[in-house]
Amino acid sequence: MGIGNISPPETLLGSLDIFVFSLIAGLLIYWFFFRKKPEPVLDLKTFPAVPPPIRETSFIEKMKKTNRNVVVFYGSQTGTAEEFANRLAKDAHRYGMKGMATDPEEYDMSELSRLKEIPNSMAVFCMATYGEGDPTDNAQEFYDWMQGTDDDLEGVNFAVFGLGNKTYEHFNATGKYTDKRFAELGGKRVFDLGLGDDDSNLEEDFISWKEQFWPAVCEFFGVEATGEESSIRQFELVVHNDINMNQVYTGEMGRLKSFQTQKPPFDSKNLFLAPVTVNRKLNRGGNRHLMHIELDVMDSKIRYDAGDHVAVYPTNDAAVVSRIGERLGVDLDTVISLKNLDEESNKKHPFPCPSTYRTALTHYLDINNTPRKNVLYELSQYTSDPQEQENMRKMASASPEGKALYQSWVLDSERNILLLPQLQARYYSIASSNKVHPTSIHICAVVIEYTTKTGRVYKGVATNWLKNKEVTENGHKHTVPMYVRRSQFRLPFKPSNPVIMTGPGTGIAPFVGFIQERAWQKEQGKDVGETILYFGCRHKNEDFLYQQELEEFERAGVLTQLNVAFSRDQEHKIYVQHLLKKNKEQLWKLIHSNNAHIYVCGDARNMARDVHTAFYEIAEEVGGLTHTQAVDYFKKLMTKGRYLQDVWS
């Protein structure tokens, strides 16, 4: 176990693997078992019910009560921004300051103007950007407040680190807006805006920014580093030897027993267990597994629109979890709580507690993720071998040599470590229309599985988990914890507007929903404009996804044009951008004269860029625009909501 996938017994380990394995095993035993005495467990049934404490909604008052002067807010969708915020808050004590990481959704953000009441105070924002430049779910209200407020923030010190991806058109839009808006409202920028790029190495960008940020803070406030080291993970293990199992979490993200008693509305803290009614393989050949899954949401009151995303919460492989238990020599069904001893932390437990070891490893910990550099640095503090300590600290640094070592030894090899942030939701574009399937949500996905350079077999957690949600004849239905996330990826308000859809591979997912909806609109007697699809796959006889359905839509006149690029059915590869260029005159007329809406879904790093370029060239060759004019032309279409992307890297 430890840094490195749980590999088969015959796999040979290098000296560093063996060392780190031994190190982490020791640490786990320490963290999970080393304690003076198990705390006595109170029988809660013998005590009268105690009303829940009143939640503090004023972060200013909390800061005053706890003597803090640095507040780090995070807008986080997958947990990375939250982790960065916790690291910054923890770092503050090294400079004689005291910080706390805070979810903006939990506090009244209009109190920011009061931050000046606290001497030598500062607000830091770790803001991730989601989708088409949108804020994350937990930062939406804060974003709305920034847009509408005219509060005077003079005297409020701030700094912003943004988390984004350069393959997206609106790179780091939320971080940029937060930095710009606070300056407009009179805030004092302590340090320059940091722009993290997940297409490159977000961790490296954060470390590089942080290493310059703190010296700037020292200069701004006239403080000096204390030289004290910080450790983020400080937990006390409590073993519950006699506890009512009704008080134990079994995988819920929020309310205890919410899986047993399902109550709407359903969201990221209250998941709906949707039964799987269909799970079929889409491709007829090849070495990949592409699947179509249907989730029953009849009893949930969940509503969605074509183009929305479904968030599913996977679980880790039961066999891997069992092997971890065997390696550690623990009874996985032991009920435990991990109590956070770090008074700087805003979370009492790292995951819902009490739970069993099995539940924690199955539902809450991302045991397949690669360790971040701060974890390596912390582990290095326990390393007795000077050479190994040097290597771990080197990998944790921002030096070129350290970056290269981290890339090759950790990232390229897909090594992992047990002590990680929580297992996060996976988002899939919904492949159905609510007008046609009001009680069912469809998913189209490809199962992730490949061999790394070191011979380790890497399996995607969510897609392999979904693949195994087979529909049986015995009446038992597997369920998927899920909720719906709204998207701006929408069909035109007027059905008469033409639509041009480009989606290779599983990027076809939202367009299946769009086409279903256009068919429904036509049945309602509405004037439906041209509906054109550009789809790409490798081989016509292997992975032409939804071929039968698409060809039926074409015969019915719902799909005006079905253009398919089979990239590997001929000597020279043909992609969707080549077909776009082939039909350039027609496309330019639809876009420039007929108010067509353009949609792109799929790979952001290559396909979306190539499609961009194809449209630029069409504007230049047919529309007579210069390259600069063409780029500006399509940027304006994006601003107007006529060029929308649902892409991933």
Question: Is 463 part of any known ligand binding site?
Answer: yes
Supply the pLDDT for residue 15: 38
Residue 448's nearest CA partner among 436, 435, 461, 438 is: 461
Q: What percent of the chain has pLDDT over 90?
A: 68
> Are 627 and 533 in the same domain?
yes
Are 131 and 119 within 8 A, CB to CB? no
Supply the pLDDT for residue 26: 44
43 falls within a domain: no
Supply the pLDDT for residue 24: 45
Question: Is 167 part of any known ligand binding site?
Answer: yes
Supply the pLDDT for residue 228: 66
Question: Is 434 part of any known ligand binding site?
Answer: no
Is the pLDDT at 192 greater than 60? The verdict is: yes
201 falls within a domain: yes
Question: Is 461 part of any known ligand binding site?
Answer: yes
Compute the chain's Rg from CA coordinates: 26
Supply the pLDDT for residue 47: 36
> Are 479 and 534 in the same domain?
no
Question: Is 573 part of any known ligand binding site?
Answer: yes
412 falls within a domain: no
54 falls within a domain: no
Supply the pLDDT for residue 288: 94
> Are 215 and 299 in the same domain?
no
Question: Is 164 part of any known ligand binding site?
Answer: yes
Question: Is 568 part of any known ligand binding site?
Answer: yes
Q: Which of 51-55, 323-327, 439-443, 539-543 has the lowest mean pLDDT?
A: 51-55
Rounded to whole angstroms, the Cα distance separating 256 from 273 reads 14
Question: Per-residue pLDDT tens for 45-93?
Answer: 333 444 444 556 799 999 999 999 999 999 998 889 998 999 899 899 8
Neighbours of 368 (CB within 10 A): 19
Q: Are strands 643-648 and 597-603 parallel, antiparallel or unpaired?
A: parallel
CATH number of residue 130's parent domain: 3.40.50.360
State which H helix or E strand residue 174 sits in: helix 173-184
CATH number of residue 439's parent domain: 2.40.30.10
Name the residues annotated as catalytic. Answer: 429, 601, 646, 648
Is the pLDDT at 476 greater than 90? The verdict is: no
Which carries the bigger pLDDT value, residue 102 or residue 417? Answer: 102
Q: What token pair was written down for 457? A: 């077999």
456 falls within a domain: yes
Question: Is 75 part of any known ligand binding site?
Answer: no
Per-residue confidence band for 2, with pLDDT thresholds at 50, 70 and 90: very low
Question: Is 545 part of any known ligand binding site?
Answer: no
CATH number of residue 627's parent domain: 3.40.50.80
> Are 278 and 305 in the same domain?
yes
Rounded to whole angstroms, the Cα distance separating 396 from 412 reads 16
Q: Which of 221, 242, 270 is the last residue of a domain?
A: 221
Q: What is the 3-state secondary structure (H, E, C) of 6-69?
A: CCCCCCCCCHHHHHHHHHHHHHHHHHHHCCCCCCCCCCHHHCCCCCCCCCCCCHHHHHHHCCCC
Supply the pLDDT for residue 463: 96
Rounded to whole angstroms, the Cα distance separating 271 from 481 reads 5
| Mean pLDDT computed over 391-405 | 82
Assign 533 to helix, strand or coil.
Answer: strand
Rounded to whole angstroms, the Cα distance separating 276 from 465 reads 12
219-245: b or e for each residue (b if 16 or more CB lie within 10 Å)?
ebbeeeeeeeebebbebebbbbeebee
> Are 519 and 618 in the same domain?
yes
349 falls within a domain: no
Are 575 and 537 within 8 A, CB to CB? no
Question: Is 78 part of any known ligand binding site?
Answer: yes
Supply the pLDDT for residue 408: 83
> Are 271 and 180 in the same domain?
no
640 falls within a domain: yes
Supply the pLDDT for residue 458: 85
Per-residue confidence band for 391, with pLDDT thresholds at 50, 70 and 90: confident
Q: Which of 437, 458, 487 is the last residue of a domain?
A: 487
Q: Which of 143-147, 160-164, 450-454, 558-562 has the lowest mean pLDDT?
A: 450-454
Q: What token pair was written down for 13? A: 């380990």
Which carries the bigger pLDDT value, residue 578 or residue 419? Answer: 578
Q: Which of 192, 221, 250 is the last residue of a domain?
A: 221
> Are 194 and 140 in the same domain?
yes
Is the pLDDT at 33 greater than 80? The verdict is: no
Supply the pLDDT for residue 55: 55
Per-residue confidence band for 615, with pLDDT thresholds at 50, 70 and 90: very high
Rounded to whole angstroms, the Cα distance separating 579 from 207 reads 43
Q: Which of 263-277, 282-296, 382-396, 486-500 has the lowest mean pLDDT?
A: 382-396
Neighbours of 462 (CB within 10 A): 21
Supply the pLDDT for residue 37: 39
Supply the pLDDT for residue 419: 61
> Are 482 and 534 in the same domain?
no
Supply the pLDDT for residue 19: 36
Per-residue confidence band for 343, with pLDDT thresholds at 50, 70 and 90: low
Question: Per-residue pLDDT tens for 408-454?
Answer: 877 777 666 546 568 889 999 999 999 999 999 999 999 999 887 87
331 falls within a domain: no
Supply the pLDDT for residue 309: 96
Assign 648 to helix, strand or coil.
Answer: strand
> For the chain, first and last CA: distance in Å?
29
> Are 549 and 579 in the same domain?
yes
Question: Which amino acid is located at 207 in the chain?
Answer: I
Q: Are strands 355-356 and 309-312 parallel, antiparallel or unpaired?
A: unpaired
Question: Is 427 part of any known ligand binding site?
Answer: yes
Is the pLDDT at 612 greater than 70? The verdict is: yes
> Are 459 and 533 in the same domain?
no
Supply the pLDDT for residue 233: 59
Residue 518's nearest CA partner among 435, 602, 429, 597 is: 435
Label residue 471 left, alpha or beta by phi (over 0 means left) and psi (-120 to 50 means alpha).
beta
Question: Which amino acid is located at 34 in the chain?
Answer: F
| Mean pLDDT computed over 97-103 | 93
* Mean pLDDT over the full length of the chain: 87
Overall domain count for the chain: 3
Question: Is 329 part of any known ligand binding site?
Answer: no
Rounded to whole angstroms, the Cα distance separating 181 from 184 reads 5
Supply the pLDDT for residue 407: 82
> Are 465 and 547 in the same domain?
no
Range of the domain at 194: 59-221
Question: Is 404 part of any known ligand binding site?
Answer: no
Rounded to whole angstroms, the Cα distance separating 311 from 486 reads 10
Q: How many residues does the chain have?
A: 649
> Are 440 and 310 in the same domain?
yes
Per-residue confidence band for 587, with pLDDT thresholds at 50, 70 and 90: very high
| Mean pLDDT computed over 535-563 | 97
Helix H segments across 290-338?
Answer: 318-328
Q: What is the 3-state secondary structure (H, E, C) of 101-141?
A: EECHHHCCHHHHHHHHHCCCCEEEEEEEEECCCEECHHHHH
